[in-house]
Amino acid sequence: MIYLLFLFILGLPIMVMEFSIGRAAQKNIAGALKKLQPEGSKWHLYGYFAMLGNLLLMMFYTTVAGWMLAYFYHTLTGGLAGLTPDEVGGFFGGLLASPGTLIFWMGLTVFLGFFTCSLGLQKGVEKVTKWMMSSLFIILIALVIKSVTLPGASAGLSFYLMPDLGRLMETGVWETIYAAMGQAFFTLSLGIGSMAIFGSYIGKERSLTGESLNIIGLDTFVAILSGLIIFPACFAFNVDAGAGPGLIFVTLPNIFNSMGGGRIWGSLFFLFLSFAAMSTVIAVFENIMAFTMEQWGWSRKKASLINGCMLFALSLPCALGFNVLSDIQPLGQGTGIIDLEDFIVGNNLLPIGSLVFALFCSYKMGWGWDNFVKEANEGEGLRYPEKIKFYVKYILPVIILVVFIGGYMEKFGG
């Protein structure tokens, strides 16, 4: 509930801003800020940092998405069937330890993403993502039904859905609030202009507040259904539901191995994760594509080829950071290259960018409140409430700064 609250008080205003900036300028975030900024100002400089954020996000997200594809393939072909819990853990460790394997799956992710973008907006990005999202919901519903009907699943449902103030106090109220605020930024990739390019594709006949609410609603719905899959299954098989990344890649495969028809259900689960990951990859790739096409006049095919090769090369350090480059521990003992890239994006560019957009859209030194609201409310649908100007202008920037400072305190506060 706390996460959902911040998704609306943080995520919704920033998303509408990004959509509005992109639609008003009909450009990527760098070009949009330059077009809409007052003469002589330098707001557009952040646009280049935002595009750097898109690149950095994909430099590690392509490796993680590759894990999803690898697990789907090995689950479907029976590579994980019959393995003991230790052997499943060894399989994940072996995946991370093999540079060739990680590079292959990362490279496949890059290829599939840019190949889809190369087909065009309607024939590629829209068609593929609509098909994936439709399939994703069908798979989700099937997995939820299976999970909640397992013997002992009711304990998992109670754990997941029933508030526990005792555990909240034990974890810490601030830690819980901060985690909810940070996740509200990260889940929607707010602050690096990922939404601006899609705003430029939205017609003037639709209001942007309604479009933003649809996206937030779908994101929340998928998150809730995912929890209805994972937590009942964990409790049904008496395993730790808070195992971090190991939950997905070690614990859940063991659950599927213990489940009747587990190979089928496991394949569907990792197919769902692959679709979810690839939809994000394609969306961010499209933003990178739009930037290069607008900046240098490249054709879509040329942009796909050059960006694909570039991003493959830039993603290599993350893939190799688990093996060949594992001695590089930039944020301290036990960290890797992926942690540094994630820190730069999640703890810096997302909150700083969101602050830039909030100031740009609410102050006259930027685009200004009147211009922003006029664009946001263009067309039919739910209108952006003009009465929250005080909140957006004065309170929202403070909340964003709290997220930014809190990230550093959590990372380096000891």
Flag whether pLDDT at 414 surpasses 70. no
pLDDT band at 310 (very low <50, low <70, confident <90, very high): very high
Going by C-alpha positions, the residue among 233, 81, 72 that lies closest to residue 146 is: 233
Flag whether pLDDT at 149 surpasses 80. yes
Flag whether pLDDT at 50 surpasses 90. yes
Identity of the highest mean pLDDT range in 15-29, 120-134, 396-410? 15-29
The tokens of 58 are what? 């994909």
Helix (H) or strand (E) holding 262: helix 262-296
Q: Count the domains in the chain.
A: 1
Provide long-range contacts, Cβ within 8 A and 24+ apart, for 96-104.
96/322, 96/323, 97/322, 97/323, 98/323, 99/319, 99/320, 99/323, 99/324, 101/70, 102/63, 102/66, 102/319, 102/320, 102/322, 102/323, 103/316, 103/319, 103/320, 104/66
The residue to which tokens 């859209």 are assigned: 361
Query: Which of 178-192, 298-312, 349-363 is predicted least confidently?
Result: 178-192
Residues in contact with 88: Cβ distance below 8 Å, sequence separation at least 6, in sequence order: 80, 250, 253, 254, 257
Instruction: Find the domain containing 74 and state its range.
Output: 2-412
pLDDT band at 390 (very low <50, low <70, confident <90, very high): very high
Q: CATH number of the domain that 45 lies in? A: 1.10.4160
pLDDT digits (tens, 9 = 90+) for 251-299: 788 888 888 888 999 999 899 889 989 988 998 999 999 999 999 999 9
323, amino acid identity: N
pLDDT band at 172 (very low <50, low <70, confident <90, very high): low
Going by C-alpha positions, the residue among 274, 286, 276, 284 that lies closest to residue 350 is: 284
pLDDT value at residue 51: 95
Angstrom distances, CA of residue 247 to CA of 211, 244, 269:
33, 5, 13
Question: What is this structure's pTM?
Answer: 0.90
pLDDT value at residue 1: 60
Flag whether pLDDT at 308 surpasses 70. yes
Burial (0-12, 13-18, 19+ Cβ within 10 Å), 26? middle
pLDDT digits (tens, 9 = 90+) for 202-244: 999 999 999 999 988 888 888 888 889 888 888 888 777 666 6
When comparing pLDDT for 134 and 106, which is higher? 106
